[in-house]
């Protein structure tokens, strides 16, 4: 795991976000009209220099992937949340457009790898596997691995809020978009290949693997299995027991297994996964 992940409590805004906010907002208040002629350019340079100095992102993250940004403003933008952009007294762009572009770069990268490495899958199966690989859970995990929340720039109202999985995904895609624009899509693909290789060593499993289908959408997988083998749909029966639910699974009107869960939604997903993983349909 990269060293940056240990810099701040999981999910919380880090010390850098507080330091950057206080240092920059205080400077804007002292400088008066931050967007006056001449002041705007000076303040933008101040923001970039402050970001590089206080985040130390070049040493903590970029050096690991041999990334050297020619446009430091673009790098800072990749970590600028809209809450700060709206509050700053100088024109600052948020990461939202970079996130949009990064999403496309990531989609093309994943699609190409699936096409080249899963020759036995048709387009429908490839589409399902792509969804299993590129989603909020997987991207937020990669973002946490990189420690991207440690470089997040937010407004005052967000400083003490949880950095949720949605924002973590945004950061992953916006940084990727910034790399692609600054250094080209091929360089962005190299970065992704290096990152996934490091991540696979950390978690002990391949990123591109069919097992992700089972983890991502076991209910659909089980439904396909029961329709093919028994011409019926699986049945989930939920019984509330105090603050929990007992979930029972039936296939072809026969009891398969049960478990206890805090929610019906998670419980049905987990029991479908258990059924497939333990090959419980073979008992019928």
- Could you tell me the pLDDT band of residue 91, with boundaries at 50, 70 and 90? confident
Contact (CB, 8 A) for 247 and 267: yes
pLDDT of res. 22: 87
End-to-end CA distance of the chain: 44
pLDDT of res. 210: 86
Mean pLDDT of 231-241: 95
Long-range contacts of 84-89 (CB under 8 A, 24+ apart): 84/21, 84/153, 84/154, 84/155, 84/158, 86/155, 87/25, 87/155, 87/156, 88/24, 88/25, 88/28, 88/34, 88/47, 89/25, 89/28, 89/29, 89/34, 89/35
pLDDT tens digits, one per residue of 199-230: 999 999 899 998 887 778 889 889 999 999 99
- List the domains of the chain with CATH numbers: 3-211 (1.10.1520.10), 217-283 (3.30.160.20)
pLDDT tens digits, one per residue of 17-66: 999 998 888 666 655 554 544 456 788 888 999 999 999 999 999 999 99
pLDDT of res. 8: 35
Contact (CB, 8 A) for 146 and 195: yes
Spot the catalytic one: 99, 103, 170, 182. Answer: 103
If one counts every other C-beta atom within 10 angstroms of the C-beta of residue 219, the result is 18
pLDDT of res. 6: 35
173 a catalytic residue: yes
pLDDT of res. 4: 42
Spot the catalytic one: 158, 173, 182, 189. Answer: 173
pLDDT of res. 32: 55
- Rounded distance between C-alpha atoms, residue 251 and residue 103, angstroms: 39
Mean pLDDT of 72-81: 97
Mean pLDDT of 135-162: 93
215 a catalytic residue: no
Average pLDDT value over all residues in the chain: 89
pTM: 0.80
pLDDT tens digits, one per residue of 6-15: 333 344 557 8
- Could you tell me the pLDDT band of residue 2, with boundaries at 50, 70 and 90? low
Does residue 28 or residue 244 have the better pLDDT? 244
| pLDDT surpasses 90 at 3 | no
Does residue 86 or residue 191 have the better pLDDT? 191
């Amino acid at each position: 795991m990269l060293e940056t992940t240990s810099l701040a409590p999981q999910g919380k805004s880090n010390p850098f976000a507080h330091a950057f906010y206080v240092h920059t907002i205080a400077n804007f208040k002292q400088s008066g009209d931050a967007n006056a002629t001449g002041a705007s350019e000076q303040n933008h340079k101040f923001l970039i220099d402050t970001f590089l100095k206080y985040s130390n992102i070049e040493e903590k993250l970029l050096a690991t992937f041999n990334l050297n940004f020619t446009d430091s403003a673009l790098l800072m933008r990749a970590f600028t949340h809209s809450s700060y952009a709206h509050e700053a007294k100088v024109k600052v762009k948020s990461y939202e457009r970079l996130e949009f572009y990064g999403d496309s770069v990531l989609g093309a990268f994943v699609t190409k790898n699936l096409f080249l490495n899963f020759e036995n899958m048709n387009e429908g199966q490839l589409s399902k596997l792509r969804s299993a690989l590129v989603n909020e859970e997987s991207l937020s995990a990669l973002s946490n691995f990189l420690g991207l929340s440690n470089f997040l720039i937010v407004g005052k109202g967000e400083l003490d809020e949880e950095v949720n999985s949605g924002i973590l995904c945004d950061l992953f895609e916006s940084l990727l978009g910034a790399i692609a624009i600054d250094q080209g899509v091929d360089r962005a693909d190299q970065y992704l290949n290096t990152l996934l290789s490091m991540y696979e060593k950390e978690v002990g499993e391949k990123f591109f693997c069919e097992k992700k289908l089972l983890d991502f959408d076991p209910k659909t997988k089980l439904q396909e299995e029961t329709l093919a083998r028994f011409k019926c749909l699986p049945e989930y029966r939920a019984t509330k027991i105090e603050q929990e639910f007992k979930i029972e699974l039936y296939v072809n009107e026969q009891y398969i297994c049960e478990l206890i869960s805090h929610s019906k939604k998670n419980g049905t997903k987990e029991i479908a996964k258990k059924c497939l993983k333990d090959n419980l349909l073979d008992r019928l």
